[in-house]
Amino acid sequence: MTKTSSKGGLWTGRVMSGIAILFMLLDSIMKLFKPAFVVDSTVSLGFQEHHIYLIGILGLLSTLLYALPRTAIIGAMLLTGYFGGVIATQVRLDAPLFSTILFPVYLAVLVWGGLWLRNEQVRKFLLLQK
Which pLDDT score, from 0 to 100, does residue 72 have?
97
What per-residue confidence (pLDDT) applies to 3? 54
Q: How many angstroms separate the CA atoms of 19 and 7, rounded?
A: 18
pLDDT at 126: 83
The predicted structure's pLDDT at residue 87: 96
Q: Indicate if the alpha-carbon torsion angle 130, 8, 119, 1 is positive or negative.
A: positive
What is the reported pLDDT for 129? 62
Asked if 13 and 4 count as a contact pair (C-beta separation under 8 A), the reply is yes
- Residue by residue, pLDDT tens for the chain (130 residues) are 445 468 999 999 999 999 999 999 999 999 999 999 999 999 999 999 999 999 999 999 999 999 999 999 999 999 999 999 999 999 999 999 888 899 999 999 999 999 999 998 899 888 876 6
With CA atoms as reference, report the closest residue to 55 among 77, 72, 33, 22: 33
Q: pLDDT value at position 97? A: 86
Quote the pLDDT of residue 125: 85
User: Measured between alpha carbons, how far is residue 81 from residues 30, 36, 42, 118, 128 in Å?
Assistant: 20, 26, 18, 21, 22
